[in-house]
Amino acid sequence: MPIRRYLPLVAVFLAAVPATASAQSGATATLETAGTHAFEGGLVALAGEPVHATARAANALPGSTLTLTFVQGGRTVRTVSQPVSGTGEVTSSLTRPAGLLTIRARVTPPASSSQSTGGSQVGTATPAASGPASSSATARVSVVVPESGIGSRGLRVRFLQRRLADLGFAIRHTGVHDTHTSNAVIAHRKVLGMARTGIASAAEYRAAAAGRGA
């Protein structure tokens, strides 16, 4: 099972999200994710598996907006917004290819106020220095390809090696899929009742990430 944490509140069902927040207005945005795994001080997800995110607002002024945004490769791939007053929640999920996925939750206060000019109402922006500030929380998820074989290296291999070690298999944490890693993969696949090969498939990655096959 993925290690579960949650900032700034405690949650028992969603994975940890390292988050930064600003709450000068008293409003607070928080962000939770599921389908992610805490690893090396960050979050990892498997390509082809859904990543779930929940943005919440607390103490939001009437007319505020709560927005949940997914960004990958410098491109916004999904945005979900809704008006909030006091508390509110926005939830969404998506499946992405490998790459860095940034998820943001933001509470934006009312953007304008009205003043009377010659009998008509004119919208004026609230000055940033005196008006309420927005509040945001951010999670960065490294989405990795869930497959490796001899010669593969990098984060996806380190993740697999750590998960297999956690399951009790003798394995070196080299970040390179070598013969020693292949032997551990074969042993893990044997426990899972899978074909005995040194190539780690997506199904084996999912099992290791979920803590199956100890």
pLDDT digits (tens, 9 = 90+) for 148-179: 999 999 999 999 999 999 999 999 999 999 99
Distance, CA of 139 to CA of 15 (rounded, Å):
11
pLDDT digits (tens, 9 = 90+) for 195-209: 999 999 999 999 999
DSSP character for 167? T
Q: What are phi and psi for residue 207, nearest 5 degrees?
A: -65, -45
pLDDT digits (tens, 9 = 90+) for 61-88: 999 999 999 999 999 999 999 999 999 9
Task: Label the pairing between strands 42-46 and 135-144.
Answer: parallel
Contact 27, 57 (CB under 8 A): yes
